[in-house]
């Protein structure tokens, strides 16, 4: 491959950018991925590893279903761990049970209602904290710290060239300018997440893209059993489209905000995943701004721990790590723009990049190839 030419140049090595590289190289195209960091360190490794497919609707569900097939294939081809775990929901109030029942009454038939004993059999929760729940069948779980490097290695083995520690300074039709020289290309996919305002500030302002900063933590605890699947709560239900759009969600949201205005102020999504080593990821809070404050309030972490102790069968947790994740946020679920011929800008803008990113990228590459004259360099990979 010429060092200065590619059929497709992908700017950004997060999950959306890697998805675009995967979609392009499978079609036999020569691909270069450019990223200013030494290795992917953004929101694609700073998340729960929860692929929440069944909680999406509309465009998001379409991308999530496509992504699910890619995740299953890549787990084998790239050699990372993936659990077809489903997602467990713990309902703690009658209004949450009513919301789950309404969501389960759907033609997809992929949400199964559970009684309290079923939930307690699947998760080490306090018996007095659970009224019932549900299982979202299609959902998956990965370890984000493992999966992203595995994808980079796999794509490199397919012929994708990675130019890390290389900043992109400009993108125009047919050309990408970088701090290590010019790359000529048939098509550019810009997938830089929240940093779109650094590369294309006018586009970011017009699309209403800001940053959403979230606090998360990893803890150790002596739990009697493992957590069978990623765990959501009522705070999660009022966030995800399939539940939040239902009229029953209003009662849940009103009660949660009235009972715990402190947690509502954090814009809490009380959810949990368990890593292979037994530790739990707790979170998360949300704060939106063009440039959110880097200072993380201890009140958020105190709330994570207190709420987890109230839910799980444990007397306490030992905090191992804390971090701040940042992702692009906007008025719509996804950003898809074509600012110039042969240039496509994509991002997941509601925090569902791991769930939908591979599907979004697949769709963007397919559309790009129908509007450009990019010719595959080799026979498409199976």
* pLDDT at 378 (0 to 100): 39
Token pair 């990979």 is at which residue? 381
* pLDDT at 372 (0 to 100): 63
Alpha helices in 27-143 (DSSP H): 58-74, 94-104, 116-122
Token pair 């029942």 is at which residue? 101
Largest CA distance in the chain: 64
* pLDDT at 235 (0 to 100): 97
* pLDDT at 381 (0 to 100): 37
Cα(131)–Cα(129) distance, integer angstroms: 7
* pLDDT at 108 (0 to 100): 87
Whole-number Cα distances in Å, 72 to 49, 69, 154, 380:
14, 5, 14, 20
First to last CA, the chain: 20
Structure tokens at 48: 């729960």
Q: Do 245 and 102 meet the contact criterion of CB atoms below 8 Å apart?
A: no
Helix (H, G, I), strand (E, B) or coil at 49: coil
Q: Where are the beta strands (DSSP E) in 266-317?
A: 271-274, 280-283, 287-289
Token pair 């017009």 is at which residue? 206
Cα(144)–Cα(125) distance, integer angstroms: 25
Whole-number Cα distances in Å, 16 to 11, 42, 45:
10, 11, 12
Peptide bond before 284: cis, by omega within 30 degrees of 0?
yes
Cα(380)–Cα(358) distance, integer angstroms: 18
**pTM: predicted TM-score of the whole model, two decimal places:** 0.94
Whole-number Cα distances in Å, 18 to 10, 24, 68:
8, 10, 15
Q: What is the DSSP track for 287-300?
A: EEESS--SPPPHHH
* pLDDT at 207 (0 to 100): 97
Cα(382)–Cα(370) distance, integer angstroms: 20
Q: What is the DSSP track for 111-146?
A: EEEEEHHHHHHHS-B-GGG-SEEEEETT-EEE-HHH
* pLDDT at 106 (0 to 100): 85
Q: Do 165 and 140 meet the contact criterion of CB atoms below 8 Å apart?
A: no
* pLDDT at 3 (0 to 100): 55
pLDDT in tens, 183-205: 999 999 999 999 999 999 999 99
Q: Do 139 and 50 meet the contact criterion of CB atoms below 8 Å apart?
A: yes
- Intervals of the chain under pLDDT 50: 1-2, 377-382
Cα(160)–Cα(152) distance, integer angstroms: 9
Q: Do 305 and 219 meet the contact criterion of CB atoms below 8 Å apart?
A: yes
Strand-pair partners of 217: 282, 322
Q: Do 115 and 132 meet the contact criterion of CB atoms below 8 Å apart?
A: yes
pLDDT in tens, 262-278: 999 999 999 999 999 99
């Amino acid at each position: 491959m010429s060092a200065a030419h590619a059929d497709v140049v992908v700017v950004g090595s997060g999950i959306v950018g890697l998805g675009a590289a995967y979609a392009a190289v499978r079609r036999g195209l020569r691909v270069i991925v450019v990223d200013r960091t030494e290795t992917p360190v953004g929101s694609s490794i700073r998340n729960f590893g929860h692929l929440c497919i069944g909680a999406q609707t509309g465009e998001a569900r379409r991308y999530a279903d496509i992504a699910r097939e890619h995740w299953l294939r890549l787990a084998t081809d790239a050699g990372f761990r993936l659990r077809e775990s489903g997602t467990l929901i713990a309902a703690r109030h009658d209004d949450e049970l009513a919301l789950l029942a309404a969501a389960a009454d759907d033609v997809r038939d992929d949400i199964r209602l559970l009684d309290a004993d079923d939930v307690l059999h699947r998760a080490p929760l306090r018996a007095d904290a659970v009224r019932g729940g549900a299982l979202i069948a299609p959902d998956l779980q990965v370890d984000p710290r493992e999966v992203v490097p595995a994808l980079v290695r796999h794509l490199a083995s397919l012929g994708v060239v990675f130019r890390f520690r290389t900043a992109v300074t400009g993108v125009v039709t047919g050309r990408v300018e970088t701090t290590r020289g010019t790359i000529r290309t048939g098509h550019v996919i810009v997938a830089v997440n929240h940093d779109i305002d650094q590369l294309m500030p006018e586009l970011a302002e017009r699309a209403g893209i800001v940053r959403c900063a979230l606090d998360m933590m990893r803890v150790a605890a002596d739990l009697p059993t493992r957590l069978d699947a990623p765990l959501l709560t009522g705070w999660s239900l009022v966030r995800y489209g399939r539940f939040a759009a239902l009229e029953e969600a209003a009662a849940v949201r009103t009660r949660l905000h009235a009972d715990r205005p402190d947690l509502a102020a954090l814009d809490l999504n009380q959810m949990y995943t368990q890593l292979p080593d037994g530790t739990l990821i707790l979170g998360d809070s949300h704060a939106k701004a063009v440039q959110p404050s880097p200072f993380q309030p201890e009140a958020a972490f105190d709330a994570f721990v207190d709420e987890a102790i109230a839910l799980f069968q444990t007397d306490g947790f030992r905090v191992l790590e804390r971090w701040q994740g940042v992702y692009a946020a906007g008025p719509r679920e996804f950003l898809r723009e074509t600012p110039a011929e042969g240039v496509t800008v994509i991002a997941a803008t509601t925090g569902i990049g791991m769930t939908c990113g591979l599907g979004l990228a697949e769709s963007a590459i397919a559309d790009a190839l129908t509007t450009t004259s990019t010719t595959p360099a080799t026979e498409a990979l199976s």
